[in-house]
Each structure stands twice: as C-alpha cells, then as structure tokens.
Chains A and B, each alone.
Chain A
Amino acid sequence: MTRGVLLAVSDTPLAVRDLTAGEAARLAERRSPRGRRLWLTARHALRRALLATGRPADTAAYRFPNRIASLSYAGDLAVAAVLTGDVGAVAGVGVDVEVGRYPEPRTAPLFLTGPELSWWDGAPAARRGAELLRLWTVKEALFKADPGNAGRTLRHYATDRPAARRGRATRPGAEFRYASLALPRGALTVALGLSPSHEGNAMREIDFDSVAKHVSSLISVPVERLGPDVTIAEVVPDSFTLVEVSVDLQEEFDVVLRQQDLREMHTLGDLVSLLRTRQAEQVAS
C-alpha cells in the first residue's frame, strides 16, 4: 500500500573510472562532450537514487522510458526519481525539472486543458510565469509516467485542480498522482501512473462469496459453513482475529471501516453490506 519516490540530484558527472563495463559501453555511444557530461551527471544522480533505494546500482541496466525510474535535466543539473515501496501499484514514474526561463505565455494553450487555461488566466500577473513553468513540469512528468503515452500530447493529461501543488490527474483510461516543488526560478514535479490493477482494486465488486472465501482462509473455517446469517462471534474467536479479518478485508477491497461499523455488525451478511456501503460512499466522494 505504501509507495514513494526517492529523488537524487547531481550537478557533477560520475567519474569515468567508476563506470561499470556496461556504463562505459553506453558512454562510448555518445560523441559530443556536452552530451557525455550530461549523461554522466544523470547517471551520477541515478546511481545515488538506486543505492539509496537498495536496488542494484549498475545504471547500464536501466533504459528509458522505465517503469521504476525517470531522469530529467535542467542546465548542468540532473534529477533522478526511483520508486520505493509498493511498486506493484504503479505503472510508471516521471520526473521533470525546469530552471531558468519561463515558458512563452502563448504556448500555454498547447499544453493546458481548457479549465487549466482558465485558472492560469485568472492567476495574479506576478505569479503567472512561475505557475506556467510549474504546470509545464507537471505535464512533462505525467507524460513520462504514462506507459501508454505513444501518440499522446501534453493536453491529454488533465489535473483535477490546476492550483494544487500535489494531487490527481487523469487522461482517458489512466490515473496519476503528482507532487511539485518550487525551486528558485524553477520547478520540479514527480508523477506516478497508477497501474490498472490498482484502479480496478478500488472498484472491485464486493459480493458475499468473495468475502466468505476470504474470511474462510483467515479463520480456517470451511467456506461452506459461512452463510450470511452466521454471526461473527461464532467464527471469529478473539479480538486479534477480528482485527486481522477486518484489516485484511479493507486492504483487499480498498474500503475503510470505522470502529462504529465493527460495533454495529453482527453477522457475516452485515459485514458484506457494510463493506458495500462504505465502498459506494468512497466511490461517490
């Protein structure tokens, strides 16, 4: 359930003597001195992030786009983002950093949706340059975090609240989370694309059979003995087991129950009704 992104920054190239054989071969593909310097600086940031997350640090194993890592450059600065925690729930990660020039205001309609453009038009004049730069990094990060970005443009990605520095964004058929940081005359955004299994989990249908099957595996009582009228007290022997069953079902169906709920339910049928009700409320909100 818990997931995160570790960011590492570098403005110095990785020393050539420290490269692995694979990295040296990749470096040899680059001819221009500036290209080589940028590549080494980015690999420096990436290696730091990989080491900090306990992953193998040979960066030659990572090609981009990549589901668990993303890179971005601004001038001589490189930023690497590497996923930590619940990688299974994430379809992709994207990072974008921009420092220095603000985008030309006339380019705003090229990457902002209608509602985003309306909000940006109404922003205070003194903030508009910085906000446009921030939104640019949001869109770039979203694009990078989307494994299905082929053929898409930045306008396909819509933030729920353009003013928010962290929040939710979507494109048809995909959902994302993002967070932005303000830098001195710049911005940095990290975005996560959520995997379809995560989205599906939130909407997973709750029926008696699936709940009973799950409860049966937790309390070692045959599923045939678990009917809607069976009381919870009959089959759940103690408080610890009740905690386990309750938390397990909530994790499984992505629903939140409260203490009052536990007090009010008496039978397995009540439990299933409650899970359904709470799921419906969560979807509605």
Chain B
Amino acid sequence: MSLSENDLWLLSYYRSSEINGALFFGRVARTLRGGQLQAEVTHHFADEAQHARYWTDCISDLGYDAEKLRGAYQDQYLEAAGVPANLMEVMAITQVFEKRVIGQYRQHLRVPNLHPRIRQTIEQIMVDERWHVQYVREALAEMEGRYGAEHVAETLDRFTRADQEVYAKTLAEYGERVDFLRRADPELP
C-alpha cells in the first residue's frame, strides 16, 4: 500500500507521542514507592513503549520507515496545562490525556477505507488504553482522601480545558496533515 506523506507523518506522530508517553511514565514509575500504583504505572510505561513498537512495525509492514520526529502531542500539553505539581495531578493529566488518545484513535478508525494493518494496530492499542483510563480513574478515586475530592475534580476540569485548547491548536497547526480525519468526523473544529 502506498501511504501519502500525511498518512506517514501522522503514523510517525503517533509513534513519537507513544515514545514520549513511555519516557514520561518511566520517570513517574521511578518516583513511586512500592505498591499497586507503582506496579500499574510501570505496566503503563511498558504499554506505551510497546505501542511505539506497534507503530514502528505497522509503518514498516506498510513498506516505510517511521519519520524521525522530535515533537509529540505532549509537548504542548505541559505548557497549556501547567506542570503537574503532585502525583494526583500527574494522574489527572494522564486521565485527560488517555481519553484524548482513545478519542483520536476512535476517530481514525472511522476513516473510510482504512488499511487493515493500521486498523489492527489501533485496535490492539485501544485495549490497553481502556485499561489505562480505568486504573487511573480508580487511583484518582483513592487519592480523594489525601487531596480532597473537590481539588481532584477541579484539577480534572483544569486539565480538560487545557486539553481542548491544545487539541484545537494541534488541529490548526497540522491542519492539512489531519484533514482526512476531519472529513471522517465533521464535528471536529
């Protein structure tokens, strides 16, 4: 199959974002004391690295090399949302980000005539992403005792607003590269 320049760029962008996710969660996993959350965040870190591998393999199977991109979606995230100040905020930004990832991949699945290899890669990743959302939601619920339920809710709101801003900016910045997604989902801004 021949990938358009934009297709290749987007799949490479996914790969780059998964690599950045792995690097971030590797750091978070290093900071945690022993326990369930440490195990889950370490698992999450491994998942993100594995997803980067899935995209590398997918692009390779389609006859291409992944583009070497430094940028990733997360880059603008901390700028807009502010640096997460504590473990709860790390989990809150993760919750918002993971939901965005699921939304983005779901949207990509709606693209007409999507290549089966790309569909397979997204579906494989989505299984892990759903678990990420679930464990982070549970971790946040447990943290309400320490940080306060209201503060947790406010933080999620703050990061959700920042996420919407970043997503709109990303679409504006890479408009033509992701135009085929826009056509698949007319509700996009």
Do A and B come from the same complex? Answer: yes
Interface residues of A (CB under 8 A from B): 1-4, 84-89, 239-244, 246-248, 250-251, 256-259, 261-263
Partner of B36, one of A2, A247, A248, A256: A2
B82 within 8 A of A: yes
CA distance A240 to B23 in the complex (A): 9
Say whether B146 contacts A2, CB under 8 Å.
Answer: no
* Interface stretch of the complex, out of B8-16, B86-94, B177-185: B86-94
CB within 8 A of A4: which of B32, B36, B78? B36
Q: A1, B35: Cβ atoms under 8 Å?
A: yes
Does A3 lie within 8 Å of B27, measured CB to CB? no
- How many angstroms from the CA of A261 to the CA of B31 in the assembled complex? 19
Any A CB within 8 A of the CB of B147: yes
| Majority secondary structure, B binding face | helix
Say yes or no for B127: interface residue by CB 8 A criterion: no
Q: Which of B27, B32, B33, B89 is close to A259, meaning CB atoms less than 8 Å apart?
A: B89
User: Can you report 28 residue pairs joining A to B where beta carbons are below 8 Å apart?
Assistant: A1-B32, A1-B35, A1-B38, A1-B87, A85-B35, A86-B34, A86-B36, A86-B38, A88-B33, A89-B33, A89-B35, A239-B78, A240-B23, A240-B24, A240-B27, A240-B78, A244-B28, A244-B30, A246-B86, A247-B28, A247-B31, A247-B90, A251-B32, A256-B86, A256-B88, A256-B147, A258-B86, A261-B85
Would you give the shortest CB distance from B139 to chain A, in whole angstroms?
7
B142 at the interface (CB under 8 A from A): yes
| B82 near A259: Cβ-Cβ < 8 Å | yes
Q: Which residues of B contact A250 (CB under 8 A)?
A: 86-87
Closest to A3 in B: B35
B69 an interface residue at 8 Å Cβ cutoff?
no
Given contacts A86-B33, A243-B28, A244-B31, 8 further A-B contacts (CB under 8 A): A88-B34, A240-B23, A243-B24, A243-B78, A247-B31, A247-B86, A251-B32, A259-B85
